[in-house]
Structure 1
């Protein structure tokens, strides 16, 4: 892994702010030009971001498929990669995937409302979700 450009960290900030479409755009530009092993790492994060975007648009199937693909792609990067706590991202993504499978497409509107609440709406959701989170790994001294 080489030193990651500032645009990667911009994509991380966009993800953390729930700006999943912007995160996709930012990281896609990196992914297109990247070499392995960074390429697959970027793709896994992109897929999780797009899954959250689909969730916000009440697209249950798209969210479930892309969460599963993102988790699969990022699994080899555990426990951390590029100063990102991959274990934590995978845990929160897997939790969301389990929740979405549990509620099914019939309750996607509730799940979508929960996602919006976590980033902007003041009204607590009926069904709180575990939203995937990107965070820096804890570097040991």
Structure 2
């Protein structure tokens, strides 16, 4: 069993991620990451990278978002289908959808329409599901 499950900061970090408070989520998960041992450490690093990638996207930093979303997805690949109550397969599917949308933009586009579509910035645009840390209810 993952040591994360007994740390209240873990649930707080999940809540912040799902509230799209990615910078605050980063702070919580980074503190956990510094203390973690494997396999929790790599799992947290992958989630952190996705959170920071989404934070970069909300600030129109397309390059940073693309890099960190890609690295986070790669790091979480071996944690599927779920880990520490998180549906990793679902998180990866949503994150990869955002990553593919970013990679399909012309090079001069900052990705603002994607950020708006995810609800990370004000405005209206075609909607994409913003990645969530969905919790598994069984098999944990």
TM-score (norm 1): 0.89
Q: 2:131: which partner in 1?
A: 132
Q: Unmatched 5+ residue regions in structure 1?
A: none
What do residues 32-75 of structure 1 show as CA deviations (whole Å, max 9, x unaligned)? 11000000000000000000000000000000000000000101
Question: 1:63–1:120: structure 2 CA closer, same or farther, 3 Å change rule?
Answer: closer
Q: Unmatched 5+ residue regions in structure 2?
A: none
Q: Equivalents in 1 of 2:113, 2:66: separation in Å?
A: 15
Q: 1:113 aligns with which of 88, 112, 116?
A: 116
Runs of 4+ in 1 over 3 A off after TM superposition: 104-107
Count of paired positions:
137
Asked whether the equivalents of residues 61 and 105 of structure 1 are also in contact (C-alpha less than 8 Å), the reply is no
Q: Equivalents in 2 of 1:4, 1:45: separation in Å?
A: 18
Where do residues 1-141 of structure 1 align in structure 2 (5 Å cutoff)?
1-2=2-3, 3-107=5-109, 108-115=111-118, 118=119, 121=122, 123=123, 125-140=124-139
Secondary structure in 1 matching 2:73 = helix
What do residues 87-130 of structure 1 show as CA deviations (whole Å, max 9, x unaligned)? 00010011110111112443312222223xx2674x5x223233
Greater helix percent: which structure?
A: 1
TM-score (norm 2): 0.89
